Amino acid sequence: MDVTAALKDLELWKAKVKEAENEKSKRMLEKLDCEEQKKKFQKETAHVLSVQKEKEAEHLRMKEKLETLNSDAEKRNRALRERIKAHEDALKVKQEEYSLLQQQSKVKTDIPEKKVKFAHVITEEKEAEEHDYETTEGQFTISQKPSLLLRGGQALITFEEDKVAEKILMLPKCCVPVDNNKMDVKPVSVTLEPSVKFQIHFSISNRKIRFSDVPPVLDEDRMRDRLELSFSKPSLGGGEVEELTYDMTRGAGHVTFLNTGVAESLYLKKKYPINVGEKIDACIQPYFDYQLKQFQTFCGVPKRTVLLEDIKGFLDEEDMQDHLEIYFQKPSNCGGEVDAIKYTSKGGVTAYFSDDVPKPEA
């Protein structure tokens, strides 16, 4: 019984050992399979890490390249901004120069009214008798005197001789005694603003007039007919109309009469009644053309005139002017005979210059 039981136990343990060995072999195979998978995963992980590192390196290179490009772009932008600023400054200087030249070339002055009288026709008598003149022509010469605006504490002094002004201008200052005081006056050369001279050639038609202030209250054709009818009435000072034009947008136009004399009488009245369904007083003006010819600009430096600056207001203008004239007349002060002098304490005085024509010797 014991042997039989032992044999059974032996067989049982052999079976268990065999099963354990099979299990061990299975586990060994699983281990080998896991190690292969581990190596595969490690290899894949290494590949992924390598790709990631390459991507990071590429990203770093791109970042550095982008920073370099940004830096270069910023440098170029800075250089462009500096060039733009330089061009803007140069443009500003040019605009100021242009504005100054434009201001100097402008002529702005009030031309006084001047009565003119018809004298004669420049033509042969026979031609004058046979010809019916349709225009009155004329010309005017406009000359602008050179001028200088004096500020407060300035004076202009003109000597009879050029050399006296030259000697005064060589002095840095002139110590002028004024009662119990002394003042240092600075002599400066005078530079005049550009002046102009030009001719205006004009012609006034003896058969045409301009009219305005006639709003379109009817259609264009009817307005033209009513206007022609109104201007044709001798009872109102009109006459036979040869041609009439009318601009509805401006409410203005011009009329050409068949005979001379009608136009002159109408534009002397300045107003003319128009009947276009309602009564309108049209504004009448002469029909004229003009041309600007022989336009000349000139500037200069007066050789006998000196500008005195830094004059103190110790005295009233008349007394101060006398002191200055007395001082600059003395040869001991490098002076000489004074032709003219003007002093202002408040400024705003305009001095005008004429052509420096030498005086005839006695």
- CATH number for 267: 3.30.70.330
CA distances from 138 to 141, 202, 224, 261 (A): 10, 6, 33, 18
Based on the domain organization, do 280 and 247 belong to the same domain?
yes
State pLDDT tens for residues 35-71: 888 888 888 888 888 888 888 888 888 888 888 888 8
Based on the domain organization, do 49 and 171 belong to the same domain?
no
Tokens of 353: 């210059």
Beta bridge partners of 81: none
Amino acid at 297: T
What percent of the chain clears pLDDT 90, i.e. is strictly above it? Answer: 7
Q: Decide if 359 is inside a domain.
A: no
Q: Decide if 357 is inside a domain.
A: no
Based on the domain organization, do 184 and 311 belong to the same domain?
yes
Amino acid at 135: T
Range of the domain at 154: 143-194+299-352
Q: What gap in Å lies between CA 117 and CA 128, rounded to an integer?
A: 18
Based on the domain organization, do 237 and 277 belong to the same domain?
yes
Based on the domain organization, do 291 and 316 belong to the same domain?
no
Q: Decide if 222 is inside a domain.
A: yes
Q: What gap in Å lies between CA 273 and CA 281, rounded to an integer?
A: 5
The residue from 103, 129, 157 where one domain ends is: 103
- φ, ψ of residue 218 to 5 degrees: the values are -125, 180
Based on the domain organization, do 89 and 19 belong to the same domain?
yes
Q: Is there a contact between 287 and 254 (Cβ–Cβ < 8 Å)?
A: yes
Based on the domain organization, do 38 and 165 belong to the same domain?
no
Q: Is there a contact between 158 and 339 (Cβ–Cβ < 8 Å)?
A: yes
Number of domains comprising the chain: 3
The residue from 45, 75, 103 where one domain ends is: 103
Q: Decide if 138 is inside a domain.
A: no
- pLDDT (0 to 100) of residue 146: 82
Based on the domain organization, do 287 and 214 belong to the same domain?
yes
Q: Decide if 98 is inside a domain.
A: yes
Please state, as a whole number, how many other Cβ atoms lie within 10 Å of the Cβ of residue 166: 15
CA distances from 24 to 12, 13, 16, 18 (A): 18, 16, 12, 9
Based on the domain organization, do 347 and 202 belong to the same domain?
no
Q: Decide if 362 is inside a domain.
A: no
DSSP string, 5-25: HHHHHHHHHHHHHHHHHHHHH
Q: Decide if 361 is inside a domain.
A: no
Q: Is there a contact between 160 and 341 (Cβ–Cβ < 8 Å)?
A: no
- pLDDT (0 to 100) of residue 280: 85
- pLDDT (0 to 100) of residue 117: 63
Based on the domain organization, do 305 and 178 belong to the same domain?
yes
Q: Which distant-in-sequence residues (6+ apart) come within 8 Å of 144 by Cβ?
A: 107, 109, 195, 196, 197
Beta bridge partners of 281: 273
Pinpoint the alpha helices (H) of the chain.
2-105, 125-130, 162-169, 220-231, 262-269, 317-329
Based on the domain organization, do 259 and 278 belong to the same domain?
yes
Q: Decide if 23 is inside a domain.
A: yes
Based on the domain organization, do 184 and 331 belong to the same domain?
yes
State pLDDT tens for residues 269-296: 889 998 887 888 889 999 888 888 888 7
- pLDDT (0 to 100) of residue 128: 44
Which residues of the chain carry a pLDDT beneath 70?
1, 100-133, 356-362
State pLDDT tens for residues 108-119: 555 566 666 655
The residue from 296, 312, 332 where one domain ends is: 296
